[in-house]
Amino acid sequence: MNRWGKTFVNFSPGISNRATKAIRQTMRDWQLDRRIDKRINDLAKIFNPILRGWMNYYGRYHNRHFPEH
């Protein structure tokens, strides 16, 4: 039963609010606006593996949250 007393027939795994907040904080900690000494290609080499990992992990069930590109 769900919290309203109805039979629970569906479960959609996805990213929790806690995980979303943690990802946002991690990205803020990167301080991208202060990395003016880096080229966009350098930043991509640094952060793409991390972003790809998050997308693979959290996007497995709900890939609609991520753009196709």
Kindly indicate the confidence band of residue 17, based on its pLDDT and cuts at 50, 70 and 90: confident
Q: In this structure, is the dihedral angle defined by the CA atoms of residues 66, 21, 53 and 40, taken in order, positive or negative? A: positive
Angle at 13 between CA 67 and CA 30, to 5 degrees: 50
Q: What is the pLDDT of residues 29-64, one digit of tens each?
A: 999 999 999 999 999 999 999 999 988 888 776 666
Answer yes or no: is 42 within a domain.
yes
Q: What DSSP line would sit under 1-13, residue for residue? A: --TTS--------
pTM of the model: 0.67
Answer yes or no: is 9 within a domain.
no
Answer yes or no: is 59 within a domain.
yes
The total number of structural domains that make up the chain: 1
Answer yes or no: is 11 within a domain.
no
